[in-house]
Amino acid sequence: MKLIKKGAAGLLLALGTLILASGAYAPFNHDISRQERMSEAMACLLFGIPITGAGGWLVWSLQQQSRQETQHRLQSIFHQLLKQSQGKITVMQFALEAQLTADVAKQYLDERAKEFSADFNVGEDGEIYYCFHTGKS
């Protein structure tokens, strides 16, 4: 379904762009009368704008869907690590498991730490642990 949406978005954007470009050229086409040039330009605008808009909307909806999928994937990994490590997570653990950069993983964990009032501990190895209170001892 996603592939069909991508294809439709590309097709609509390409078609809309061609129609709008044709509309932009119409006023300079001296092979037809001035009234025909203006009619052609208006027709191209009336058809080109909605078609391009529909393509843009599909692209936007695909981006939103991708963001939601990414958030769901990160949340799932976060919960899985919480269960496995009894509420203690390091940036390195999360970054490796979620295949994120250290900065993005730290930002995500910082947001969750604020959201869930987590504590921070420094382990014997010098690693900083995010300690989330899961209700289990």
What is the bridge-based pairing of β-strands 119-122 and 128-131? antiparallel
Please give the chain's pLDDT, 137 residues, in tens.
889 999 999 999 999 999 999 988 888 878 888 888 889 889 999 999 999 999 999 999 999 999 999 999 999 999 999 999 888 999 999 999 999 999 999 999 999 999 999 998 888 888 889 999 877 65
What's the whole-model pTM score?
0.70
Report the helix count and the strand count for the chain, using DSSP H and E: 4, 3
For residues 59 and 14, is the Cβ–Cβ distance under 8 A?
Answer: no
